[in-house]
Chains A and B, each alone.
Chain A
Amino acid sequence: MSAAEEVVAEGHEAVEAVPKRAMTLGTGTSLVVLAALLIVPVFVKNFIIFQMTMLLIYGLAVLALNILTGGSGQFSLGQSAFYAVGAYTSAVLMEYFNFNYALTIPISAAVCFAFGYLFGKPALRLSGVYLALATFALATAMPQLLKLNFLEHWTGGVQGLVVTKPDAPFGLPMSQDMWLYYFTLAVTVAIYIFSVNLLRSRSGRAFMAIRDNEIAASSMGVNVSLYKTLAFGVSAGITGVAGSLGAIAVQFVAPDSYTITLAISLFLGMVVGGVGWLPGSFVGAAFIIFVPNMAESISKGLSGAVFGVLLFLVIYLVPHGARQVAILGQQFVGKLRKN
């Protein structure tokens, strides 16, 4: 490696090493959060349930990016493309082939995994900002691709596709929104447990070894190209599931829903939640859903500027996002106990 390359390589350590234990919440805290997520919908309006569903869905998408960036150290600004593929897979299967909505989710996951894996292959040659740029191209191209003439028969072109919302099964006395929330929650919990276990497994250790030092990892016998593409595939697959759930919750897919803005929002969510801290993904999702609404209520004309100021404050005060807040909280509780 020449001196110049070393300087460039140093820049790539933007993702700092996170020990694998620090990537999750303690069991007790997790159970409390889960209990809250289970109980709250009983007491709130359907609109709030819908927002909570969207929070879980965006949380999944941010989690997927977190595995890729926080886990294996690769950047992606193209998550909106995988999200779109997942959404369209579900929408097309449900509307044209009368598939059950639940069945479309594993199919979306498989399709997006394949898509991500294949995209990861050529992207292997790129790293850091160059990879971010390549994925950026994917995100900008996706809305246009969905409008292509030969795909229009399936995608509905610019008009998009309307998706039918599923009713609660077995005659459960639940509104559609509440059923969809619990369904999403179940999928989210499953994927969350899968992700935690993945990062604690041999593959997860390989991801993190690559993130921390690629050369060292390969000399330890880690198949760098395999694990890098694998991380891309897994991330794309989970994003696809989020996309599917999103399409079902919103009941509509259109190219305008999956622009580069979505990819940037997801990236933002990851940074705000804390890179490499999986529970932070959901905090980040809450940020990208609720903070724009708050900004709008402060000033309609300047909502973008207000959002910018709030984001700046977050990054300036807690640069490591929600993870930092959680650690501070933990230390505080620890002190209280000692006293």
Chain B
Amino acid sequence: MPAMHVRLGAFSAALVLAAALSTTASAQKRYDTGASDTEIKIGNIMPYSGPASAYGVIGKTEEAYFRKINAEGGINGRKINFVSYDDAYSPPKTVEQARKLVESDEVLLIFQSLGTPPNSAIQKYMNSKKVPQLFVATGATKWDDPKNFPWTMGWQPNYQTEARIYAKYILKEKPNAKIAILYQNDDYGKDYVKGLKDGLGAKAESMIVVEESYEVAQPTIDSSIVKLKSTDADVFFNVTTPKFAAQSIKKMHEIGWKPMHFLNNVSVSIGSVMKPAGFEASQGIISSNYYKDPTDPQWKDDPAMKAWNAFLDKYYPEANRTDSAVMYGYIVAQGLEHVLKACGDDVTRANVMKQAASIKDFEPAGLLPGIKANTSPTDFAPLSQVQLMRFKGESWELFGDVLSGDVSG
């Protein structure tokens, strides 16, 4: 049957062609599950509901940023397919969603899963599956552990790093300080206290006169502030989340307690802490930051801030622009863009980790001037620099040099 022969001939020709194509393709391009010529599939887990749902904004910002990348042609011609699930900040749900992303949706990597307990729950799984758990959204120190967890990497300066920087400053400016500490009774609060103690070294014992903790479910911390004042401490280390930070600043002003006041970076938002607490009461507070606070008037005409506003206008118009989480998501999404660009046509999980571990002086728009992301095969903490700042008038005034407090260094 001639027709059959023709068909067979065409078929074998197609086969030869396909084989030829695939060999040339494999010579240049390498892919793992979740990546192809046209698409890179990225997984993400966020608390869109539940007690930490305020952070869900980060996921929405990232999703908007990847829409922007896709509209501009993708990364090396590949579109980002961003699959984001809700875990309600519940670790068993995080495990379910992570397994769904890896085994059912078949993503290349999981990016920015949020929170210390949820990430702890999936760390072992991700590392045994050899799927990158990239730039996790938590400030705990444990993510920088490439020896035991080569597939997990942090992102932001961790809490201990920041606290060590305050400790250095205290030792230099007030070597005989009497320090009072107020902290939230969870991993975040304890990490800060540990960092401060490590930073003060042998003097910690004699310098810290009182440590007070509060539960996140408490309605107010006024009584703690009164108690701390009664110890006559002249340095106050304030490890509180925004609501409590505003309360403490207000109460201190009311009862006239004026120590040297260190406020953790978690609560530096002018819009949600300083303004509600009152600018007068906030004068002189010392803190640190690594990115530009969108509510700080000094950045109004900054090019990065203008780019951020233009991005939000076009891709995420309903965003609350006083929420620093929107800036956070914008910066970290640029981090992923940078890594995927560096991967070139070798979009494999191993290469993603290799590129993520060789970031050199990368400056995504939105970071403070002089702060750069850096990693190496032994340093899985991309951002580890901050700059001290003091509250003056209605905004933060940066002072001193950019400081590094790498736990390893």
On A, residues with C-beta under 8 Å from B are: 45-48, 50-51, 54, 144, 147, 157-160, 162, 246, 250-252, 254-257, 259, 261-262, 296, 300-301, 303-304
B100 and A47 contacting across the interface, CB-CB below 8 Å: yes
CB neighbours of A259 from chain B (8 A)? 51, 90
Q: List 24 A-B contacts (CB under 8 A).
A: A47-B103, A50-B99, A51-B96, A147-B185, A157-B190, A158-B116, A158-B186, A159-B120, A160-B117, A162-B120, A162-B123, A250-B95, A251-B125, A252-B92, A252-B120, A252-B121, A254-B117, A256-B90, A256-B91, A256-B117, A257-B91, A257-B117, A259-B51, A261-B50
Q: Which of B7-15, B81-89, B394-402 contacts A (4 or more CB under 8 A)?
A: B81-89
A251-B50 contact given A158-B116, A257-B91, CB 8 Å threshold = no
Structural contact, A250 and B186, CB atoms closer than 8 A:
no
In the assembled complex, the Cα of A300 lies from the Cα of B51 at a distance in Å of 16
Chain B 180-205 per-residue mask, 1 if CB under 8 angstroms from chain A, else 0: 00000111001000000000000000
Query: Closest approach, in angstroms, between the C-beta of B79 and any C-beta of chain A?
Result: 20
Q: Does B408 sit at the interface, judged by CB under 8 A?
A: no
**A252→B185 contact, CB < 8 A:** no
Q: A246 is contacted by which of B92, B99, B100, B124 (Cβ under 8 Å)?
A: B92
Minimum CB–CB distance from B340 to chain A (whole Å) comes to 23
- The complex places the Cα of A158 from the Cα of B100 at a distance, in Å, of 25
Cα distance A46–B85 when bound, in Å?
19
List A contacts of B378 (CB < 8 A): none
Task: Decide if A160 touches B120 in the complex (CB within 8 Å).
Answer: yes
Q: Which residues of A contact B155 (CB under 8 A)?
A: none
Minimum distance in angstroms from B299 CB to a CB of chain A: 29
A250 to B92, CA, bound (A): 6
Question: In whole angstroms, how far apart are the Cα atoms of A45 and B103 in the complex?
Answer: 8
Write out, one digit per residue, whether chain B residues 237-267 have a CB within 8 A of any chain A CB (1) or not (0). Answer: 0000000000000000000000000000000
CB of B313 within 8 Å of the partner chain: no
Interchain CA distance A252-B95 in the complex, whole Å: 9
CA distance A45 to B96 in the complex (A): 14
Interface size class of B (residues with CB under 8 A): 20 to 34
Residue of B nearest to A164 (CB): B124
Q: Is A159 a contact partner of B91 (Cβ separation < 8 A)?
A: no
Q: For B51, what are the chain A residues with a Cβ–Cβ distance below 8 Å?
A: 259
Residues of B within 8 A of A50 (CB): 96, 99
Q: How far is the CA of A157 from the CA of B99 in the complex (A)?
A: 25
Task: Give the contacting residue for A144; candidates B48, B86, B123, B215; CB below 8 A.
Answer: B215
Residues of B within 8 A of A51 (CB): 96
> Given A45-B103, A254-B117, A157 and B95 touching (CB < 8 A)?
no
Residues of A within 8 A of B50 (CB): 261
Nearest CB in chain A to that of B128: its residue: A165
What's the least CB distance linking A252 to chain B, in Å?
Answer: 4
A159 touching B124 by the CB < 8 A rule? Answer: no
Cβ-defined contact, A304 with B215, below 8 A:
no
Are A300 and B86 closer than 8 Å at their CB atoms? Answer: yes
* Inter-subunit contact B116/A251 (CB<8 Å): no
B89-113 to A contact mask, C-beta < 8 Å, 1/0: 1111001100110111000000000
Query: In the complex, what residues of A have CB within 8 A of residue B22's CB?
Result: none
Instruction: Decide if A159 touches B92 in the complex (CB within 8 Å).
Output: no
Residue of B nearest to A57 (CB): B92
* With A51-B96, A303-B48 as contacts: A261 and B186 at CB distance below 8 Å: no
When chains A and B are docked, how far (Å) is the Cα of A6 from the Cα of B20? 86
Smallest beta-carbon distance B320→chain A, Å: 14
Contacting residues of chain B (49-72) with chain A, CB-CB under 8 angstroms: 49-51
Q: Is there contact, CB below 8 Å, between A254 and B120?
A: yes
- Specify which of A47, A159, A301 is in contact with B104 (CB 8 Å cutoff): A47
Q: Which residues of B contact A (CB under 8 A)?
A: 48-51, 84-86, 88-92, 95-96, 99-100, 102-104, 116-118, 120-121, 123-125, 185-187, 190, 215
Chain B residue at minimal CB-CB distance from A159: B187
Determine the distance from Cα of A304 to Cα of B124 in the docked complex, in whole angstroms: 30
Residues of A within 8 A of B118 (CB): 256
Asked whether A257 and B186 contact (CB < 8 A) given A47-B100, A50-B96, A158-B117, the answer is: no
Question: Once the chains bind, are A257 and B90 in contact (CB under 8 Å)?
Answer: yes
Tell me the complex Cα distance, A262–B93, Å.
Answer: 11
A113 to B102, CA, bound (A): 38
Q: Which residue of B lies closest to A265 (CB)?
A: B90
Chain A residues near B90 (CB-CB < 8 A): 256-257, 259, 261-262
Contact (Cβ within 8 A) B85 A296:
yes
Q: Are A257 and B92 CB-contacts (below 8 A) given A47-B103, A300-B86, A303-B49?
A: yes
Chain B residues near A254: list those with CB within 8 A.
91, 117, 120-121
Q: Known contacts A160-B91, A257-B91; decide if A304 and B117 are in contact (CB<8 Å).
A: no
Of B48, B125, B187, the residue contacting A300 (CB under 8 A) is B48
A105 to B195, CA, bound (A): 39
The 10 closest A-B pairs by CB, nearest first: A47-B103, A252-B121, A158-B187, A254-B117, A158-B186, A256-B117, A257-B91, A250-B92, A250-B95, A47-B104
Residues A157 and B187 in contact, CB atoms below 8 Å apart: yes
Q: Are B96 and A54 touching (Cβ within 8 A)?
A: yes
What residues on A are CB-neighbors of B123 within 8 Å?
A: 162
Please name the residue on chain B nearest to A256 by beta carbon.
Answer: B117
Tell me the minimal C-beta distance from B389 to chain A in angstroms. 29
Residues on B with C-beta less than 8 A from A246 are 92
Per the bound structure, the CA–CA distance linking A303 and B49 in Å amounts to 8
Residue of A nearest to B50 (CB): A261
Q: Nearest chain B CB to A45's CB is how many angstroms away?
A: 6
A300 and B96: CB pair below 8 A? no
Determine which of B48, B102, B103, B125 lies in contact with A301 in the assembled complex, contact meaning CB atoms within 8 Å. B48
Q: Check B121 against A159 for contact (C-beta < 8 Å).
A: no
* List of B residues within 8 angstroms of A301 by Cβ: 48
B248–chain A nearest beta-carbon distance, Å: 22
Measured in the bound complex, the distance between the Cα atoms of B119 and A159 in whole Å is 10
B49 nearest in chain A by CB position: A304
Closest to A152 in B: B190
Closest chain B residue to A47 by CB distance? Answer: B103
Q: How far is the CA of A216 from the CA of B125 in the complex (A)?
A: 55
Are A251 and B186 closer than 8 Å at their CB atoms?
Answer: no
Known: A251-B125, A257-B117. 18 other contacts (CB 8 A): A45-B103, A45-B104, A46-B99, A50-B99, A54-B92, A54-B96, A147-B185, A147-B186, A157-B186, A160-B91, A251-B121, A254-B121, A256-B90, A261-B90, A262-B90, A296-B48, A296-B85, A304-B49
Chain A proximity of B183: nearest CB distance (Å): 13
Complex CA distance for A186 and B294, rounded to whole angstroms: 57
Chain B residues within 8 Å of A144, by CB: 215
Bound CA span A158–B124, Å: 17
Q: How far is the CA of A47 from the CA of B123 in the complex (A)?
A: 17
In angstroms, Cα B190 to Cα A50, docked, is: 34
